[in-house]
Amino acid sequence: MIYVLSSISDFHIRLDKIPQGTDKIIHAVIYFILCLLIRRAFFYQNRFPLLKSYALMGAFIFSVVYGLLDEYHQRSVPNRSVDFYDFLADAGGALLYVAIFWLRNRQDDNGRELQKG
């Protein structure tokens, strides 16, 4: 979905009708969801135990790298350009997911790690 939306050459023109800065919120929400889905995919697979152990970190890195590649990809789309602030919003959305996940799953009083969805 991200790739398809970033491939639409006049998509930024349609975004001009929404309040300024709203597009950054949309970027953050999309990459929050991407990071969530990637973490779940990494955690619930059994083929690569190391990836499963570091699912949250792997999901964050994957999301940030994908955001960077997506901005690079937009260089080749007519009427689109690379926007560093879009990339920051992408990374911020992924980081927000990591922070919320970490806060919800921090260790309990006995030192056991809580593991919630």
Using one digit for the tens of pLDDT, what is the confidence trace for 26-70? 999 999 999 999 999 999 999 999 999 999 999 999 999 999 999
State residue 9's pLDDT score. 81
pTM metric for this prediction: 0.83
CA distance 38 to 45: 11
pLDDT at 103 over 70: yes
Average pLDDT over residues 74-102: 93
| CB neighbour list of residue 13: distance below 8 Å, 6 or more residues apart | 79
Average pLDDT over residues 90-111: 85
